[in-house]
A and B are shown apart, each in its own frame.
Chain A
């Protein structure tokens, strides 16, 4: 394949060309309503070509890998139709490498029947909890073998593994339906989804407890977020705005996202990086063949860098960070997060809540989304904090903030960093991309909470 790809790349008149080829296998197991509902295997073989001519990009993806050279020529001609300026791109020089993942317990070596046995057990735990109506489990493992080559002479082979387990318990009574979820993942270690019996039991009980919980009263509160939800918070509140493709051709946004601007207190440090090892967003090279890095986005409260592709880094005159990712060969790489987290500080959870008169402790997650300026993130459960102590359980709450004020309002950063690995990030058509988010407990003042009156 290597020779065919290089042959296809040779002698064209383009500013840059790259070819990716992918072979993947996945296994999916789904439970619904307490029954095994689907077990399936999928496979894919495909590739793509991307070319840059005079600032215009052409891209084609296909299943049939024949006549690659002709495909390259067509993509170049389409790019030429669009190009109206000088191409700007950061180059890395040729990189030749073969990356084999370090795997502790590969899901491929676990027989399907054992996977089913494990999930049957979790399903039974949930379904045997009184008042639980339904259990939903989505398990997926995948292996992708990726070849990357470009007109600079790079040739990189990488194999990526991914495991994702999501479980939701649904409790119902008197026409009320409540749910609680558990989500986990790993870049290839099946043992991460084993031995979860206690956690699964607790998840089911949590769904039942929520049935009798009151709604929160809407308004502004001092909130304390657990590491899971704070991870979603940092992803939505700041991660997406750090993606340079939102900024690089937007003069006004560049003015307000200028490097050196203060976004938080001196204690606030936010990092993204695929070079942080062993997490679902970890890799050695991104899908443009750029080496992964660990990037401080905010250091001591100051915006110090952002996430880049080859093009955004060149256009903004900033360092490459290796954040161009594609969910599969069907799509071109775009700027994405990898492993995003707030670095730990020194405050214990007890100290964090001790002087809060009336506040909200929000835990676990449903989801989150952003418009860049505004963002929302939703908790799986919440508690009232009253006079420095955790009080009654509340229904799940949706919290909302504004990037320019909410990060400033982080008043305390805990000492207990944890990474959440069950999520999938969406951007454009590309969802769910394996990422991880994390944080210690954090305390945020004047956070807007949706709810009743």
Chain B
């Protein structure tokens, strides 16, 4: 790394070298049985340079001669660097726990045993359930140096368990599932089992529903599948700067219901999306995005912050290329309603758990529309069964402005979002009739 930086400095005014070494071991179960173990080792080295006011970028997986990497970056030196852009001279990592030394040493046999017990526990409730499961561990070490003297390095561990169950009855298929992830070794899977059993219980019967507008309760999974994609796009500083976010020019305005609070937080101990500093060496932080319905901030990396005349919020994330703004953990503030009270309040409505395809519409405008893969019909205050062949549509900005209630309990979804359930006014529901 040092050699790459040195060679880059010979030809460029500024340079930054980022390296990540990753060792991942997922153990897979297919159709209730142990199927495959994988052992993935990788080393990625990325170089960013600024030369004559233009930036260049090159990245290598595996071996590369430092001179070749520098040459590749020089060739691509054609895109503008915003005024005021510079790599941090000092890295001031925030104190956050992201490493559990125990994770690396967990034997395959223990991972296999954990996965099998998880499947057995779920199937003791519904024996005909066919399950795919995953138990995975991963350790990464990140090292970053730049020509302004900035340097950072940290280690991070991950442990994840997940289960997907499929129940086929005639031509009717039911999909249930849950996952849990942490930087710490997980040994207790009770919450995952309980969640899957909850879904199985609520979906025991099928119920039919009519095409009309009705109240909807989004569970934590429902919030993640319907509302999250548009919010992630809208608060991305880059999309704001482009003018493609409806929130552009709306800082300080009341855009959402006054009970709605949203923040990004890289400093929650042992959460998989937490980090002491981001992929550019800016310290991780908590950034309030919405407070009492008012838009307060967007998420930035160094480049976008310089373009926008703002400061990086420590959200520079590399997803295979240059860093770009990306949320760490997103958190929606809890309310004071009980889930079952919300259900009891509904004469005819829908509880939406998983929606398929919702992120594939015009996410930028806040629109979502998808097939309710897992959702339940509510009739006279009670859940009466699972709906099928049903689509729910809406617009995030309308939905989050007609909130009837916010759940008092929250849960993590995919280690990325901590959210309560949200009870919202009329949403259009379309269904196949007969």
Contact = CB atoms under 8 A, between A and B. Distances in A.
A62 B112 CA distance: 23
A15 interface: no
Given A63-B61, A133-B243, A30 B321 contact: yes
Interface string A55-81: 011111111100000000011001101
A41 B62 contact: no
Given A218-B430, A450-B430, A39 B38 contact: no
A374 B371 contact: yes
B296 to A, nearest CB: 19
A170 interface: yes
Contacts of A74: 39
Nearest to B58: A41
Contact of A452 (B59, B172, B428): B428
Given A63-B61, A330-B42, A57 B35 contact: yes
Interface residues of B, number: 78
A32 B233 CA distance: 14
A396 B370 CA distance: 13
Nearest to B107: A81
A148 to B, nearest CB: 18
Contacts, number: 263
A401 to B, nearest CB: 9
A42 B389 CA distance: 44
B360 A63 contact: no
A41 B76 contact: yes
A332 interface: yes
B173 A61 contact: no
Contacts of B30: 249
B168 A252 contact: yes
Nearest to B374: A371
Contact of B431 (A178, A374, A448): A448
Contacts of B57: 38-41
Contact of A44 (B31, B62, B170, B359): B62
A448 B31 contact: no
B79 A36 contact: yes
A392 interface: no
A410 to B, nearest CB: 16
Interface stretch (A158-166, A349-357, A361-369): A361-369
Interface in A131-185: 133-134, 136, 170, 172, 175-179
A375 B130 CA distance: 20
Given A368-B357, A398-B361, A448-B432, A376 B108 contact: no
Contacts of A424: none
Contacts of A113: 78
A249 B34 CA distance: 13
Interface in B60-75: 60-64, 68, 72-73, 75
A134 B61 CA distance: 32
B389 A402 contact: yes
Contact of B365 (A177, A375, A376, A398): A177
A34 B307 CA distance: 13
B356 A374 contact: yes
A400 interface: yes
B357 A376 contact: yes
Nearest to A397: B369
A448 B391 contact: yes
Interface string B22-44: 00000000110111111111110
Contacts of B108: 78, 81
Contact of B243 (A33, A38, A59, A84): A33
A141 to B, nearest CB: 13
Which of A39, A79, A81, A448 is the most central at the interface, judged by chain B CB atoms within 10 Å of its CB?
A: A39
B276 interface: no
Interface in A211-235: 218-220
Contacts of B344: none
B244 A172 contact: yes
Interface string B41-52: 111000000000
A64 B360 contact: no
Interface string A77-118: 011011010000000000000000000000000001100100
A63 B432 contact: no
Contacts of B428: 218, 450-453
Contact of A36 (B64, B80, B369, B431): B80
Nearest to B213: A453
A256 interface: yes
A38 B43 CA distance: 22
B431 to A, nearest CB: 7
A63 B80 contact: no
B102 interface: no
A314 to B, nearest CB: 15
B36 A57 contact: yes
B156 to A, nearest CB: 18
B433 interface: yes
Given A59-B37, A252-B168, 20 more contacts: A33-B241, A40-B56, A40-B57, A42-B320, A46-B61, A59-B39, A62-B41, A62-B42, A116-B78, A136-B242, A178-B365, A218-B429, A219-B430, A330-B42, A371-B175, A376-B357, A398-B370, A400-B371, A451-B369, A451-B393
30 contacts: A36-B80, A40-B56, A41-B75, A42-B320, A56-B34, A61-B42, A62-B42, A79-B37, A84-B34, A112-B75, A113-B78, A134-B243, A170-B242, A170-B364, A218-B393, A220-B430, A220-B432, A249-B30, A368-B360, A370-B356, A371-B371, A372-B173, A374-B173, A374-B389, A378-B360, A398-B360, A448-B389, A449-B430, A451-B393, A453-B428
For the complex of A and B, 10 pairs with smallest distance between CB atoms = A376-B357, A63-B62, A218-B430, A33-B242, A367-B360, A450-B369, A249-B31, A252-B168, A40-B57, A44-B61
Interface of A: 27-28, 30, 32-46, 56-64, 74-75, 78-79, 81-82, 84, 112-113, 116, 133-134, 136, 170, 172, 175-179, 218-220, 249-250, 252-253, 256, 330, 332, 366-378, 395-398, 400, 402, 404, 446, 448-453
